[in-house]
A = this chain, B = another copy of it.
Amino acid sequence: MSTTESAGPHGYIHRKDDYLKRLRRIEGQARGLQRMVEDEKYCIDILTQVSAMTKALQSVALGLLEEHMSHCVVGAAAAGGPEAEQKLREASEAIARLVRS
């Protein structure tokens, strides 16, 4: 079994390559924005790219959150106790940050 297929401690490893690919694309978008500013492209076109990049980031966040809930949170919930409560609070706070950002 290759490293990228093994189930890591934080549960999202089976889609690790997918996340890395998406984050590399987002990094590329950040470089593209620098070129646009450098070349003084039309402001509205730059803003359109910023919106696309923000959506791509949100999509990564929602994917990670879903995996986190289905692994860590559910695992802690099955075990019960204070750990379960803490995991839920942590997840809720992360969701609130996403909704408000």
Q: Residues on A close to B: CB < 8 A?
A: 8-13, 16, 19-20, 23-24, 26-27, 30-31, 33-34, 37-38, 40-44, 46-48, 50-51, 53-55, 57-58, 60-62, 64-70, 72-74, 77-78, 80, 84-85, 88, 90-92, 94-101
Contact of A40 (CB < 8 Å), options: B10, B53, B54, B58? B10
Give the distance in Å from the alpha carbon of A98 to the alpha carbon of B46 in the complex: 12
Cβ contact within 8 Å between B95 and A41: no
Cβ contact within 8 Å between B91 and A40: no
Q: Known contacts A68-B43, A78-B77, A78-B78; decide if A94 and B48 are in contact (CB<8 Å).
A: yes
A89 to chain B: closest residue by CB: B66
Cβ contact within 8 Å between A30 and B34: no
Q: List 5 other contacts, CB 8 Å, given A16-B40, A54-B101, A58-B101.
A: A12-B43, A19-B37, A50-B61, A62-B92, A66-B92
Contact of A27 (CB < 8 Å), options: B27, B50, B80, B97? B27
